[in-house]
Structure 1
């Protein structure tokens, strides 16, 4: 497994686990509550920081372990890696472009900020997951 594929797996796992914890925590408060009173900003910022930090730390740790296992392959990327990365980024861009229509529509409908912010957060999560999954599939199937 190349270092780029390992990185895609890290992003997929972190991109799934951290938002799942955030959404479970925050959305569990919605039933029977006025959403204007739910504190979502700080948990969303923490979830974002944790996702970014965990991705960076795990990528570094995997790179160190992989470097110790195969020192001659450290940091090697080829044209295939670049093409797969590009394909994943394109897929993530398209998902983000389409998914961002929902928060835009919510803002135009003057829905509460809670729903707009969470819809936008979900759009980012879906884009990141799509990008990682497309990369993983490309590495596995070619």
Structure 2
């Protein structure tokens, strides 16, 4: 059961981790790709390796951060109550909507003959927005009221 003033719920901690890691990883990716441009068109910059490394690093960072939280507070309850499950579902729906938007945008870009660079980056951005906005929604719901339907 969630009570105001108690320690942060385990699932809220996970949302914070996802939010921070997604933003940092994407910022690193964009910084590296833009710095490699050196006056060239972005479509001429080698991006695939950096994209794969930043995605892989963000997955590992999430795993390591969650393990660290588990070691710091090993007795913290990982049991989800009905509120945790509802917050998780609503936050996931928010995030998934951006995956759909990104997929549709990438499909339209491919049909229009856009460069692979832009299509790949649209998909990556959709994953990042999904993680960020889904996490923000979850964190907001932990600190506010859940929508009632």
> Would you call these one fold, judging by a TM-score over 0.5?
yes
Tell me, what secondary structure is at the counterpart of 2:109?
Answer: helix
Q: CA–CA distance in 2 between the matches of 1:36 and 1:118?
A: 10
Contact 1:66 1:74 in 2 (8 A): no
Mark the runs of 5 or more structure 1 residues left unpaired by the alignment: none
Count of aligned pairs between the two proteins? 138
Q: Report which of the two has the higher share of helix.
A: 1
Q: How does 1:26-65 map to 2 (within 5 A)?
A: 26-30=33-37, 32-65=39-72
Runs of 4+ off more than 6 Å: none
Q: CA RMSD in A?
A: 1.5
What do the CA deviations read for 1:71-122 (whole angstroms, capped 9, x no partner)? 2x43221111111111111111112112322211211111111111111111
Equivalent residue number for residue 109 of structure 2: 106
Q: Does 1:136 align with 2:135?
A: no
Q: Does 1:88 align with 2:59?
A: no
Q: How does 1:105-124 map to 2 (within 5 A)?
A: 105-124=108-127
Equivalent residue number for residue 19 of structure 1: 26
